[in-house]
Amino acid sequence: MSITDLCLKTSEIIKSASILSKDRFRKLSNDDIQLKAKNDLVSFVDIETEKYLIDKLGKLLPGSAFLAEESGYKATSDSDYKWIIDPIDGTTNYLHQLPMFSISVALQKNENTVMGLVYEVVNDEMFYATEGGAFLNRKQIRVSETSLFENALLATGFPVKNFEIIDDYLCIFKNLVLNTRGIRRMGSAAVDLAYVACGRFDGFFEFNLSPWDIAAGEYIVRKAGGRVSDFAGENNYLYGQQILASNFHLFEKLKEIVRLT
């Protein structure tokens, strides 16, 4: 099966998986919510959606391994393929009845990402990328052409789990607020990256993210013509807990400001 065919089938599985989150949206009670750690929430919807994805994707690509938010690492064989899954990216939004959350699925072959999909559930927007490019609902997308930093609209996420870096973060935040058109905080890193890929945002940065938060989105950005790195400009962003993404015009300036801390 080609990667293109695999991507199409994966998108169908993701849309089927989203039925549960759509059905239970704005219907959960506090009894349905568990606290994994401070500001780290999970519901049975996350868990059941992940189980569904692992089951269906495992059948789609037999023997493949999984790295998933709720169940951790599952190596079913010595397969070269690994799925990286976030069943609900934006769980806090979801549990607070805010309509901004997504399903994120990436596929790696020999540790290199070959496919990424981010499904923004409420708006029914499927962002995806393969070697052939990046797309939104089958229409090709590109990062923005914004070249002046003062015209840039950026996205970020607040460090709500590691407060040791809050002062550094606020310093960066202030600098960017003073020198750009504005900053948005959507609550889903996967969506933030997808929006960079299609030009809605000109750049994105965040601390303390896990691979399942960004594996699909960062690949979509790169295939849409953008740049992605850690704060030092290196490639240790998937497991290094810091990521910077933007178009080529703004990348160096954004990196310069983020590296001031």
In order of their start, the domains of the chain are: 3-140 (3.30.540.10), 149-258 (3.40.190.80)
**Which residue would you say has higher pLDDT here, 47 or 13?**
13
pLDDT for residue 13: 98
User: Whole-model pTM?
Assistant: 0.93
Average pLDDT over residues 42-52: 84
pLDDT at position 183 over 80: yes
pLDDT for residue 70: 75
Closest C-alpha among 176, 178, 248 to residue 205 = 176
pLDDT category at 41 given cuts 50, 70, 90 is very low
pLDDT at position 75 over 60: no
Indicate the range of 13-17, 42-46, 106-110, 229-233 predicted with least confidence. Answer: 42-46
pLDDT category at 29 given cuts 50, 70, 90 is low
Average pLDDT over residues 12-30: 85
